[in-house]
Structure 1
Amino acid sequence: MSATSSHRAAHPAVYFVLFAPFSALSGYLAIAAAYALAQAKVPAEAIAGLLAVTFMPHAAKFLWAPVVDLTLTRKTWYLIGCVGSAAGMFITGMTPYRLESIPFLTVVAVTAGIAASLLGMSVESLMAHNTPDEEKGRAAGWMQAGNMAGSSLGGGLALWMMEDLHVSAMLTSSLMAVLTLACAAALPLVREQRAETPAGGFSFATNARAAGRDLWEVACSRMGLLAILVCFLPIGAGGASNLWSVVAPDWHASAATVALVTGVVSGIVSAGGSLLGGFICDRMDRKWAYCLFGALQAVCALAMAAAPRTESSFVVFTTLYALTTGLCYTGYAAVVLEAIGKGAAATKYSLLASLANMPLSWMTLVAGYSQTHWGNGGMLQAEAAIGGAALLVFALASKLAQRRVGPATQPAGVA
């Protein structure tokens, strides 16, 4: 359902503001909290484990997606998610940064991650129902930019306040929580359209069967199979970026540099990479564009491992890495959108997006393990090797599918 012609749709920039809190907590954990934990001599493996669990609720969000669709209103669910995310950030700042706090912080991260998933789904639903078809691409671009900006700016700003301005973690997290809540001020700019409840009422079993049928329709097509494969492969997952604040001292990067580069700079560059990736994907085969982007990120990781350990190297390579991450995220989205076609596109995309968070989680664990056991260079080399192997698997699967099936079969429901 698109916005009616009698109601002028909100400018797509509103989704930048509404979606920013979705990744603000994960950014705070990955940059500000991770840096503080590293300074407290907490092992990188333990920090990576904490960061990895922040992706887990997003890998399982399809289980509670029907609740958002069929109960309350999308704006109500947004407020619930926003408050939960802000509370998670506040509690994280109240907790002492030491090894003994990791189990408690893990519980907070998972709980707040569930709240963030509710916020994300409500924004996606508002966008789908309130944006004219001719503006949905632009709206999605603004939303993705908000996602990356929320993560980079949220964590970078917090670290800058804590390390450069010497603001306490308690006050910093309180201010970040207030900024998170402030994003809800953009809600009145978006029109609410209530979801229609089925005649038989709400049923988890019915919705699960319907979701299963949608996914099966996608899986019956060559492009659909490749899209599902993409979700499980760690191509362009960007796991190392979650540990930049942990490994920064090896490159002699100051807290101010880490805050600036992984915050403001990475937010702007990754958002620009997303826009550039969309431009490229519209001008070449999207599958091979995605492979190209993943290869660029692997090369960037290898180059960073081989480069001199200086602050300037840290700035250059983390910035390039942010650019390739934006490219890869857009490449992934382009492949999946091409595969799911129309029909029940929202349901199918939600399912695939849930699956896609799995490699984000375990690649963060891999980065933490390899950094602890093989050092910072080993972490970057391991990520590049795994990414290269994933690219090879995807390329071979694509060639094999094309040889066996011939021209791509459109998934059921495509107009």
Structure 2
Amino acid sequence: MSASSLHPASRRASHPAVYFVLFAPFSALSGYLGIAAAYALAQAKVPAEAIAGLLAVTFMPHAVKFLWAPIVDLTLTRKTWYLIGCAGSAAGIFITGMTPYRLESIPFLTAVAVAAGIAASLLGMSVESLMAHATPAQEKGRAAGWMQAGNMAGASLGGGLALWMMEDLHVSPMLTSSLMAVLTLVCAAALPLVREPAPESSNEGFSLRASARAAGKDLWEVASSRLGLLAILVCFLPIGSGGAGNLWSVVAPDWHARAATVALVTGVLSGIVSAGGSLLGGFICDRMDRKWAYCLFGGLQALCALAMAAAPHSESSFVIFTTLYALTTGLCYTGYAAVVLEAIGKGAAATKYSLLASLANMPLSWMTLVAGYSQTHWGNNGMLQSEAAIGAAALAVFALAAKVAQRRAGPAAEAAGTA
């Protein structure tokens, strides 16, 4: 009698809603920095370019996390790494809240953002690995939708709630960040609801050489297939990066948006809408080609940015277009996650997911810098128009590459059919 027959429940996949809770802390620090801290820094007359640089740094560890991804696959357990990452993320939020919000604090906040970003990457990789092993192929889009809904909620709800507490309730940043840190740690209570996958190898210990070999093999398996190659291209291109969304609290005064409005729209409302967009994106991605769905979502975000630039700069416009932007961001993040999950399969899931996610976080980081630079030099409309133009160019590049790949795959498919 096999072990699986002795424990039939262990073969059942967890409901994908568990990934909503587990993944929420992944973006908690970036949400706190991007909404609450960014608004406070803007009120302290810190230049938008400096604030954008700080926010961009929070994504830097995710751009190179493939360097330590094999550690998650080969040492300890995924759940242990989750607890380590969750604790590090919570500590980053707490320390950020204790730091004075002024220009001189930017270097220290940058160091905290990098350290907490590394911790968040460990948390994210553990969840991605758990999900990759436990999710049936036909439900990859649904699981990605729930995970990215948690990602959106962690950033929007956490940051918006913090801003509301500080600005409307006049709660001190230290007490506010303490509450946010506690909420981050509470998410770990969902860990028992997901099954830890069996070890990939019976070999114990950790070898840098073996890890590098495994990472190279995993990357080659993905890159050598047409699906994997297009997935890599999708991740590398700045499609649906949502860079402007990181600066809403900075540019809000130009739309005459009050602090309470910014907190509501970029917090609770944005969290609900982007989470809904993530779930909708998962539904769509399971019913059409996931790469093209991702591109469709990116095109919608570019159109939203253009429309916001063209519309009157009023508080009502700020509410409408930032809400629509949050919807498209949820769609885009789910489209990206669905493409990656489809391409990586199982195996050393944390390593493979991280290799592709690292590519995806590169445009996310530098598009935030582009948004800050263009806002400082060309104004708020220039920021939105620049993002839309770059996104449109990226979509054109992908469409051309997909068309070429499809043409090359045609003769090979016909040969296979006649063999």
Q: Same fold (TM over 0.5)?
A: yes
What amino acid does structure 1 have at the position aligned with 2:8? S
Shift of residue 130 of structure 1?
Answer: 5.0
Q: How does 1:398-413 map to 2 (within 5 A)?
A: 398-406=402-410
- Aligned residue for 2:321? 317
For 2:15 and 2:343, locate their aligned partners in 1 and report how far apart those are by CA, in whole Å.
Answer: 28
Describe the superposition over 1:137-183 as per-residue Cα deviations: whole angstroms up to 9, x where unpaired: 54443222111110110100000001111111111111111111122
Q: Is the 8 A contact 2:141 2:286 kept in 1?
A: no
Name structure 1 gaps, 5 residues minimum: 410-415
Alpha-carbon distance change, 21 to 285 in structure 1, aligned in 2, over 3 angstroms: closer
1:230 to 228, 234, 257: 234
For 1:118 and 1:346, locate their aligned partners in 2 and report how far apart those are by CA, in whole Å.
Answer: 9
- Aligned residue for 2:97? 93
For 1:232 and 1:379, locate their aligned partners in 2 and report how far apart those are by CA, in whole Å.
Answer: 21
- Aligned residue for 1:251? 255
Q: How does 1:9-28 map to 2 (within 5 A)?
A: 10-28=14-32
Greater shift after overlay, 89-98 or 340-349?
340-349
Q: Is the 8 A contact 2:140 2:286 kept in 1?
A: no
Q: Is the 8 A contact 1:276 1:327 kept in 2?
A: yes
Alpha-carbon distance change, 225 to 2 in structure 1, aligned in 2, over 3 angstroms: farther
For 1:121 and 1:139, locate their aligned partners in 2 and report how far apart those are by CA, in whole Å.
Answer: 15
Shift of residue 403 of structure 1?
Answer: 2.5
Q: Is the 8 A contact 1:221 1:408 kept in 2?
A: no
- Aligned residue for 1:206? 210
Alpha-carbon distance change, 325 to 29 in structure 1, aligned in 2, over 3 angstroms: same
- Aligned residue for 1:413? none
Q: How does 1:74-223 map to 2 (within 5 A)?
A: 74-129=78-133, 138-193=142-197, 195-199=199-203, 201-223=205-227
Aligned length: 409
Note if 1:361 corresponds to 2:365: yes
Alpha-carbon distance change, 92 to 80 in structure 1, aligned in 2, over 3 angstroms: same
Secondary structure at 1:253 match in 2: coil
Describe the superposition over 1:226-263 as per-residue Cα deviations: whole angstroms up to 9, x where unpaired: 21111211010000000000000110111111111111
Q: Is the 8 A contact 1:253 1:311 kept in 2?
A: yes
What amino acid does structure 2 have at the position aligned with 1:199? N
Secondary structure at 1:76 match in 2: helix
Q: Is the 8 A contact 2:285 2:335 kept in 1?
A: yes
What amino acid does structure 2 have at the position aligned with 1:306? A
Secondary structure at 1:284 match in 2: coil
Q: Is the 8 A contact 1:298 1:384 kept in 2?
A: yes
Describe the superposition over 1:184-209 as per-residue Cα deviations: whole angstroms up to 9, x where unpaired: 22233334456355437421221212
Percent identity between matched residues is 88
Shift of residue 376 of structure 1?
Answer: 0.5
Shift of residue 118 of structure 1?
Answer: 1.1
For 1:214 and 1:126, locate their aligned partners in 2 and report how far apart those are by CA, in whole Å.
Answer: 17
- Aligned residue for 2:374? 370
Q: Is the 8 A contact 1:2 1:129 kept in 2?
A: no
What amino acid does structure 2 have at the position aligned with 1:127? M
Note if 1:5 corresponds to 2:11: no
Secondary structure at 2:8 match in 1: coil
Alpha-carbon distance change, 131 to 302 in structure 1, aligned in 2, over 3 angstroms: closer
For 1:124 and 1:291, locate their aligned partners in 2 and report how far apart those are by CA, in whole Å.
Answer: 22
Secondary structure at 1:237 match in 2: coil
What amino acid does structure 1 have at the position aligned with 2:178? S
Q: Is the 8 A contact 2:129 2:349 kept in 1?
A: no
For 2:342 and 2:64, locate their aligned partners in 1 and report how far apart those are by CA, in whole Å.
Answer: 23
Shift of residue 355 of structure 1?
Answer: 1.3
What amino acid does structure 1 have at the position aligned with 2:159? G
Greater shift after overlay, 367-376 or 281-290?
281-290
For 1:226 and 1:14, locate their aligned partners in 2 and report how far apart those are by CA, in whole Å.
Answer: 29
- Aligned residue for 1:380? 384
Secondary structure at 1:406 match in 2: helix
Superposition RMSD in Å: 2.3
Secondary structure at 2:326 match in 1: helix
For 1:13 and 1:217, locate their aligned partners in 2 and report how far apart those are by CA, in whole Å.
Answer: 30
What amino acid does structure 2 have at the position aligned with 1:120? G
1:50 to 49, 54, 58: 54
Q: Is the 8 A contact 1:290 1:332 kept in 2?
A: yes
Q: TM-score, structure 2 length as denominator?
A: 0.91
Secondary structure at 1:396 match in 2: helix
For 2:167 and 2:380, locate their aligned partners in 1 and report how far apart those are by CA, in whole Å.
Answer: 23
